[in-house]
Structure formats: C-alpha cells, structure tokens
C-alpha cells in the first residue's frame, strides 16, 4: 500500500498541533491544502479542440481544465498498457491524458471522437 504524501503530512501536522495544545483534525488539514495540477495542452491537441463546434469545445475545455483540481474525476478510466495514462468521456468524445503526480502535471495527449481515439495512425 502506497502512502499518500498529503495524508502523511496531515498526520505529522496533526501530531505537532496536538503536542502544542492546538487541535487539528486530519480532515481539516487535508481540506486546507489546495494542490492544483498544471494542465498542459500541446499545440496539436489545441488544434483538435479548435476544430470542434463552439458548444462542444466549451464542454470539453471545461472538463479538461477541471482536471487541475481533480485529475481523477468520477468516470475516469485507467488505460491498460500504461502506468499513468487515463481517459475521460465527454459525450461521444474522449480525452486521453497522463498524470505526473510528482510534478503535479496533467498532460493532455488526445481529444478525439470515440471512433478515432484509439487508432494508431
């Protein structure tokens, strides 16, 4: 079982606060930490997004930018054959991305229609 660095820091902060007479729950500490990821959209992916209809582009862009707060939202699927590659579904479109937890980076790899997303060109 891997140890989550946020939880480990929360436990340490909680112990220190307890020893100093201040009381902080682990949940309060975790809630106070705002870790946001940097979302990187490479130029080819941006071109794919720009080619979409405006309403669809807005929906997809909003979901991609929401990955900064939560890189593993509900409905995310970890792709087989890769250590850190994931997919989210937005209607008939799929967004493939990688998560680099060490650097707090979400790298968007692809944004295509579901019939095209897994094809190797």
Residues 100-118 pLDDT 10s: 988 889 999 999 998 887 7
Show the CA angle centred on residue 98, arms to residues 34 and 43, nearest 5°.
100
Give me the pLDDT at residue 82, please.
Answer: 86
Whichever domain contains 71, its CATH number is: 3.30.2310.20
71 in a structural domain: yes
Q: In this structure, is residue 82 part of a structural domain? A: yes
Instruction: Give the containing element (helix H, strand E) for 105.
Output: strand 105-113
Q: 29 with 10: CB under 8 angstroms?
A: yes
pLDDT at 89 over 90: yes
User: Which residue range(s) make up the domain with 66?
Assistant: 38-113
**pTM for the whole thing?**
0.69
> What pLDDT, in 10s, does the model give residues 8-52?
777 777 677 667 766 655 566 565 666 688 899 999 999 999 999
Number of domains in the chain: 2
Residues 91 and 105 occupy one common structural domain: yes
Bridge partners for 90 per DSSP: 93
Residue 28 shares a structural domain with residue 44:
no
């Amino acid at each position: 079982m891997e140890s989550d660095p946020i939880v480990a820091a929360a436990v340490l902060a909680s112990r220190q606060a307890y020893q100093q007479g201040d009381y902080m729950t682990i949940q309060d500490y975790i809630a106070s930490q705002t870790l946001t990821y940097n979302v990187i959209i490479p130029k080819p992916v941006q071109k794919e997004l720009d080619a979409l209809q405006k309403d669809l582009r807005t929906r997809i862009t909003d979901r991609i930018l929401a990955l900064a707060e939560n890189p593993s939202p509900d409905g995310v699927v970890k792709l087989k054959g890769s250590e850190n590659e994931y997919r989210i579904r937005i209607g008939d479109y799929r967004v493939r991305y990688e998560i680099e937890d060490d650097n707090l980076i979400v790298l968007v790899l692809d944004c295509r229609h579901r019939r095209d997303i897994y094809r190797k060109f």
